[in-house]
Amino acid sequence: MPNTECRKPFTLNLTPYTIYLLHVIADIRYQASNIENQRSKDNTVKLKNIDYSLYLVTDRGLARGRPTLDIVKAAVQGGVTCVQLREKECSTRDFIEKALAIKDFLKARGVPLIINDRVDVALAIAADGVHLGQTDMPLDIARRIVGDSMIIGISAESLADAVEAEKGGADYLGVSPIYVTPTKTDTAPPLGLEGLRTIRAAVHLPLVGIGGLNRDNSAAVIENGGDGVAVVSAIVAADDTAVAAGDLKQIIDEARKP
């Protein structure tokens, strides 16, 4: 004989208080969702308004044994407005530990941290952004991974690179190299100021010039359409990091005046 017990309708007896609690929980979840969405929007707006004017790219090989965190601290004291952490030879664990320490310092001062190349590290530490070269992870794939949670910068070594990156949804461009640089030997031929002007006329993204830049030629980058100047050795290799950064910031600020 069939088991009719299994066919009895299920009834859920909820007291008025239980119903009230369910409504409260639903309301809390709704409010939390709204708060999270607003935070995401606020974060996106904040990240779209980054000051790229003096952009430091780290390089432990030029630091003469000084810890990267110490270099960053002094550079920010001098006026650096954005930091890209570049680590090519350390382990992933060391990279993450170093990035977290630098992020904690920068966050308290409102300075964004961008991770060079490593999308995984950028995600692991919730960095403000990631910077990708022409041989790194493709922009469209990186964007699918990080969404709008962080900015993506792209190295543009030609007008075609710049146009493609803008169409692909990059947030800013590292225009490189402006001049010959001893920091990287595998770069494309220098674009010069003329190349920078050509890219400026073609795209509407923030442009950060990089490659062979120092206190003698940084102003020209701003005067020819750059929104910022990225430096490596001019700060990292300086005897006094804070002073070097301060001198560059003053030069850049003067060049930005109408």
pLDDT digits (tens, 9 = 90+) for 15-58: 777 667 767 777 777 776 565 555 455 454 456 689 999 999 99
Q: Which of 155, 176, 218, 233 is catalytic?
A: 155
CA angle centred on 157, ends 75 and 143, rounded to 5°: 75
For residues 139-158, average pLDDT: 96
For residues 50-67, average pLDDT: 97
pLDDT of 146 higher than 60:
yes
- On average, the pLDDT of the chain sits at 89
Q: Which amino acid, residue 3?
A: N
pLDDT at 168: 97
Q: Which of 86, 98, 103, 249 is catalytic?
A: 86
User: If DSSP codes are grouped into helix, strand and coil, which group holds residue 87?
Assistant: coil
Q: By CB neighbour count within 10 A (0-12 exposed, 13-18 middle, 19+ buried), where does 22 fall? A: exposed
Give the pairing of strands 228-231 and 207-210.
Answer: parallel
Please tell me the distance from the alpha carbon of residue 107 to that of residue 129, in angstroms, as a whole number: 13
Residue ranges with strand state E in 21-95: 54-57, 82-85
Q: What is the pTM of this model?
A: 0.82
pLDDT at 49: 85
For residues 153-162, average pLDDT: 98
Facing residues of 174 across strands? Answer: 155, 208
Q: Find the helix or strand (DSSP H, E) in which 26 lies.
A: helix 16-48
| 20 phi and psi angles, rounded to 5 deg | -60, -45
User: If DSSP codes are grouped into helix, strand and coil, which group holds residue 56?
Assistant: strand
- Provide the pLDDT confidence category of residue 7 given band limits of 50, 70 and 90: low
189 CB contacts (<8 Å, ≥6 apart)?
none
pLDDT at 45: 43
Structure tokens at 128: 């403000």
Is 200 part of the annotated catalytic residue set? no
Q: Which amino acid, residue 193?
A: L
Is 184 part of the annotated catalytic residue set? yes
Is 86 part of the annotated catalytic residue set? yes
Instruction: For residue range 223-234, list pLDDT tens digits in order.
Output: 999 999 999 999
pLDDT at 242: 98
Q: Which residues of 219-250 are buried (b: 16+ CB within 10 A; e: fewer)?
A: bbbbebbbbbbbbbbbbbbbeebbebbbbbbe
Please tell me the distance from the alpha carbon of residue 4 to that of residue 18, in angstroms, as a whole number: 31
